Structure formats: structure tokens, C-alpha cells
Amino acid sequence: MPKKRLVIVGNGMAPGRMLEHLFDLTDQYEVTIFNAEPRVNYDRIMLSPVLSGEKTFEDIIIHGDAWYADHGITLHKGQKVTKIDRDMRTVTSEGGITAQYDKLVIATGSNPFIIPVPGHKLPGVLAYRDLNDVDGMLEAVKKGGRAVVIGGGLLGLEAAAGLKMRGMDVTVIHLMPSLMERQLDPAAGYLLKRELEGRGIEVLTEANTKQILGSDKVEGVELADGTIIDASLVVMAVGIKPNTQVAAECGLAVNRGIVTDSTMKTSDPAIYSVGECVEVGGMVYGLVAPLYQMARVAAAHLAGASDAEFKHAETPTKLKVTGCDLYSVGDFAEGPDREDIVLRDAMRGTYKRVILKDNKVIGAVLYGDVADGAWYNEMLKSGEDIEEMRATLIFGQAYQGGGAADPLAAIAGLSDDAEICGCNGISKGQIMAAIKDKGLTTLAEVRAHTKASASCGTCTGLVEGVMSLTLGDSFVIPAAAGMCPCTTHSHGDVRRLIKAKGLKSIPAVMQELEWSTPEGCAKCRPALNYYLVCDWPGEYVDDQQSRFINERVHANIQKDGTYSVVPRMFGGITTPDELRAIADVADKYDIPTVKVTGGQRIDLLGVKKEDLLPVWADLNKAGMISGAAYSKGLRTVKTCVGTDWCRFGTQDSTGLGIKLEKALWGSWSPAKLKLAVTGCPRNCAESTCKDIGVICVDSGYEIVYGGAAGLHIQGTTLLGKVATEQETIETICALTQMYREQGFYLERIYKWADRVGYDHIKEVIYDDLEQRAAYYERFVYSQKFAQVDPWAEFVSGKDAHEFAPLATVKLEAAE
């Protein structure tokens, strides 16, 4: 039976989610998508972190090219639809592409509202709706100067914070007396204004724009009161309006948006509509949670008979600015029939307000302390009578019934219908059911199967709490403490902020992120040094003082105070000359133990500290360099003999291992990396318990990763199979670079993969060739600045004190 033709106009988040639901329900459609943007589907919620530098575009892609190919979808990029012929059931793009449909979904989104003041068409005036706008702002950032953001709502403030983090001076102009007046009351708006001003952002409320100044580009903004603000960039973020043009032109019912019924069907029964372009029940929506509900309902009806209907629900508001915690839901307007309960803590800078009507919660505004937002939202939805808890309501759920002793009491007390992930409309019960039905045990698995916390990520703590309640002791909520006692920031926060703020030295990081100690400690300094080395190759100079003793002297300290020296042998291959040099050094310096390591190298154990420099000098004369047995980086690439000698070998595993080791050698990573290449599935080189492994087969190379064989034991996960040595090397280098950029210091690759998700890594590195190439290019670039062997410098006349441990930070104790 031939498939029905489903055509979708628009490729935003709502139609993307609709297709996910549809493919879960049926395969009866052949899908064609017309996207006005020249790219794949991405998470618009996360444009602000891209602007601030906390994420890249690749990080926010929802469906890469491989996803469309896997589902047989025809995606026309950069093809805006200009005509819908309802009689012929065709759509036509501005590029002349025509497609016929049996069912059509219009998801044209919204257009930004541009204030038609004089100068609004000057170069340098931008809206803030899509990636093109972000790219335009980033181009302006390169030139510096001042950005004026017109609009103090969600998008305007996110744009302002992002531009400030990129280094621009920023002024926010807002017409109303307080910021985000639709989502916050004046008290919370005051706290938000104070927070932004504390970050160096100028905020002007009750300010009306008269005109934008400039002749051939933006030069300034004039306000109605005559104030003139110099500016090189103006961002308008004053609202959106549904994009209904193509729907109106083909005769569909249009009011504020494209009118649909509760099943998302338009006035034409063959045409559905979802997203910001829709008007359903007399309402239009701009937040993602109701758009995803539309997607679910439309998918159900496209798949066949269904009773699914769109129902209005209050959607919480959150601001995606690092460090600004606010939560708002419901109705918080004042009135004679309403009662306010307010809690202010001036010292902590927190504000909580719950609005009651007839003993029921009808709204809540939280700033600074938002932990109870989901609880208040659940009471709002359920209409629960709060009379008995009125005296303690404002203190949160943990104070009801003595639950404060249990940190999970608040989540345990939520009903199964309580919404946990507002972006995706996922309830506590849905998460628990997925965990039980599918045997989910990690956050990455829960995200993959339910989408909970997969969008903006602010509900991650709640999701982890639900997992802990469902899985019991088998799941431990990761600690949210700072990376060390010197800071409250986590490793993730520090990594993001180093990039976002352009911090390029340890003192800069400590100053900007408000370290509580003058020079850091043995935990944070090595981590900061690694992050800076990784993030700013060629700009940041590796700080040897911030490395452990083993890394500084290029040898592993032993329990008796002597050292272990391991020369590098690429792929485990050596020569008679190298062996003679090792034997001569062992004799000359009376080294008591010579041992073959598990990584196919020779270890000289018991070297006195005073002999380290001359030992390395003698080995260096024979062409031998440090094996980096101490490093947070590549240790070894273990190999078997492969096709050279073994009758079972399918590929040149030794040769590939040497190429991999030479490609990866010298680069730092969050923790040690051990690789292996085995010439056949018999796996003599033990590839399946390494950080990264290659298993050679007749038709190519299987790449596996995430193994461990120390205190923690686990097998590897298959990344994928490739056909050539070169593709193997490029894929492994790209995987390594992704790990380097995202891993936390001392976090082994399997822990990183557990945290971010094996499926996500596969999508990025194996399925998406463009992203793989981008990571590989960054790896190759960073290798230009990777640490070369330092011993040539030490033995060519540098003073020995540069080699000796430095006393600024006592890292030896931490080792």
C-alpha cells in the first residue's frame, strides 16, 4: 500500500516534535519538509547560550541530517513556501519546488515585531528570533562598542546578558516601569534589575525610543526625553506576531493566528497547524510547552482516530541567564478578591510571592529560590485547598508535615500528574513509567526516552530526584557542590563561563568568578589550567605550576620517593638501539627494576630524583621521548601484531595503532586516555575495556569507547563501523576532541559518556558527518599547540630549577 504524502511547511521545534511522536505511532507517511532557514532543526530555546558562548550551534541541533535520512524525510533547506494550492493540494517554494500532499501541516512560526521608528532599517538593527540573528550579533561583537537592547522581556534580557558576556557594553531600554512585567511583579522585577546592573548592564525603564541614529549604519539611539545613547548595535526584542501570510493567502481562517480546533485542524480538514503561528481556543502561544502539546495532539490525529485535544494550561516562565534564578506561573495581578503571601530575604536576595483566591493558589512569583516552583504549579493546576497549610505555605513543600528532614520529600509529595519538565510537558508519572518500563538507569537514558530536561535543562535536578525515588539506592544524585572549596561553581559552570566571558588566564578566572581564595588550591588550579589549555589553544600558555609533580618532572613518584620513568614506544614497537639505550641507562644510574608495562612499554623503576634529568638526557640522545605515563592525556595505544604476523589478523592493527598514537600524542585531555587496536575479533589487545578501542574486521574497523578496567569495570560501547584507516583516525580524533571540550577535569571518558549520553555522542560523532568534521578540524588545530616533548629543552641548557617542583601551590600533597 503506497504511503500517504505529508508535507510540512516549517522546520521548527513544534513540527520536529510532532514528527517524533508520529514516527512512534505510524509509518504510513512519506514526509517532505520545506524549511525557510538553510539548516536543520535546532533548539531555539538555547539560542541565548549560543549567543553568550556557553554553547555552540552544534550543541543545540535537535535533528541532524542523519535523522532525516534515517526516516526517509525529504528536507528542502532554504526554501520558503510562497504558495499553497488547496484545490490541487500542492505547496510551492520561492525556489520553484512543488510538492503534493495528502495531509499538510503549517508550522510557519512567528515574526519579530520591529518598532517602525526612524532608522529601524539601518544596518546594525537586528531582531532576536533565529540563528541568523545570533550570527549577526556575533559579527557585531567582533567590532566591539555598545549594544542597545530595546525590550526588557525574556528575549531582550537574554540577548543583553549574552552580549555582555561576549564583552560588549550593553544598555537595555524598556518602556514599562519594571522588567518582564508580564511574568514578574514589580518586586521581582526590581531584584532582576539589580542583578543585571550588578553585572554591568545598564537598565533604563520607562524609556521610550524616539529614533535610531545613523546614516549608513547604526550610530546611536535617541529616547523620547532627548537622551542619546551611542550604539553600534540595536537589538529589538519587543514581541512577536504569528506568521500567517501563506495561510491567509490560500484562504484558511486566520485571526490573530491560523485558527485551529482543539485537534490542531484548520478550516481545511486536510491541513493542520502547530506552533507559534496557531490560534487555538482564542489563544496564541510563544512558550515551548504548549507548542509541544500541539505537536503531540496533531501527531495523534494524523496517525488515525484519537480523542487527543489541546487544552490550555498555565506555563511557567524561566529566564535562561546563568545565575539568574526566577520562576513565574499563573495570575499575579492585584485585586480585592486576592490574597498575597510574601517572603523576602534581603541577605540572600530572594523573594517569594504566592497569590491566593478562595484558598487556592492562582499564581506564584519566585526569585533567587525557585526550588518550590513545581509544587506551587501543581497546586495551581489541581485547585487544592490550602487552608490547613496557609501558615507555612510560603516556606515551601519541605515544611509541610515535617518533610524538611528528607531532601527528596518535596518531589515525593508531588502527584504523578505534576509537571516536571515544563518545556516538554513531561510529568512525574511519565518519567517514572518510562524508567520502570524501559529499564532506564541514567539521566541520559531518561532524556532520550522522555525528553525531560533535554531542552533548557533547568529541571535536571527535579528529573534526578524522580530517578532517585524510582530507582532507590541504585541511583545517586550527582553532587551539585562547587569544583573545590574555593568556589561554589561546578565544573560545568566554570567550563561554560571561561568561554562565555573570554577568560584566558587563571587569575582572570578567579577574579571574574569570585574565587574565595587568593591563588586556588590543588583541586582547582590543575582543572583551570586544563580548561584554559583546551579552550584557548595558541593563546593560553600552559602553567607548569598548576600541574601535579608527576607531570612537572615527567615521571611517576613511587612510595619510597623514587620515580618511575617510561619512554614512549609507539604502538608497542621498539628497536635494538632503543633497547640498548634503556639497558645502558639502567646500568649507568643503577636503576633497580626494569619492567614491561601493561601498555607494551618498558618501565624503569627506582630512579632517584637527582638522576631524572640525566636519565632523560641519555634516553633523548637515542631518540626516545617521554611516554607520558603520568599525564592527563594519551598514555598508550596497545596493539596486537595484526596481519603482519598473525594468521587471524584482518587489518594492520600495529600500523594503525602507531598512526593513532602519533596523531593523539602530546594533547591533554580531562583524564588519562588508553587506547587499543586489535587485529581481529579475538581481541588480543583488549580493545573492549579501553577508553577508546578499535576492532579490525574483514570489512573495516569497529570503533568502541567508554570501557574501564580499574576500580570500575565495564565494557565498551560501539560507536560505529568505518571503512578506512583514515576515517578511523578522524573519527577517534573527533571523539577525543568532543570529550576534551565537554569533559570535567579528572572525569574519565566513560563517566563523561554516562553524563552526556552514548546516543547523543553517536549522533554527533558518527551519524553527523558535518559535526564530526568540525570536531576533527578543531582537534587538528589544537594539536599545533599541543605540548611537544619538553626534554629537548631541559637538556639543551635550561636551568635545572625550571624542572624542580615550584612552591607556589603545593600540589605534591594532592598526589
Helix, strand, coil shares of the chain as percentages rounded to 5?
Answer: 35, 20, 40
Residues 264/298, Cβ–Cβ less than 8 Å: yes
Between CA 796 and CA 793 the distance in angstroms is 5
- Residue in 106, 104, 86, 133 with CA at minimum distance from that of residue 7: 104
Between CA 316 and CA 281 the distance in angstroms is 19
| Cα–Cα distance list, 25 to 29, 297, 301, 424, 755 (Å) | 11, 12, 10, 18, 29
Between CA 750 and CA 576 the distance in angstroms is 37
Burial class (CB in 10 A: 0-12, 13-18, 19+), 31: buried
Cα angle 804-810-815, degrees, rounded to a multiple of 5 = 90
- Residue in 626, 622, 700, 686 with CA at minimum distance from that of residue 656: 700
Show the 3-state SS of 259-305.
EECCCCECCCCCEEECCCCEEECCECCCCHHHHHHHHHHHHHHHHCC
Residues 794/616, Cβ–Cβ less than 8 Å: yes
Distance between alpha carbon 691 and the CA centroid of its chain, in Å? 22
- Is position 680 annotated in a ligand binding site? yes
Assigned C-alpha cell, 668:
591533554
- Is position 646 annotated in a ligand binding site? yes
Residues 584/759, Cβ–Cβ less than 8 Å: no
Coil, strand or helix at 110: strand
Assigned C-alpha cell, 96:
520553484
Assigned C-alpha cell, 660:
593513532
Burial class (CB in 10 A: 0-12, 13-18, 19+), 643: middle
| Helices 443-450 and 428-438, packing angle to 10 deg | 110
Between CA 609 and CA 269 the distance in angstroms is 83
Instruction: Tell me the residue length of the chain.
Output: 815
Sheet holding 602-607, edge to edge: 556-557, 563-565, 602-607, 593-596
CB atoms near residue 356 (< 10 Å): 19
- Is position 640 annotated in a ligand binding site? yes
Between CA 264 and CA 427 the distance in angstroms is 22
Between CA 193 and CA 349 the distance in angstroms is 12
> Which amino acid makes up residue 311?
K
Residues forming the annotated binding site for siroheme?
684
Residues forming the annotated binding site?
640, 646, 680, 684
Residues forming the annotated binding site for [4Fe-4S] cluster?
640, 646, 680, 684
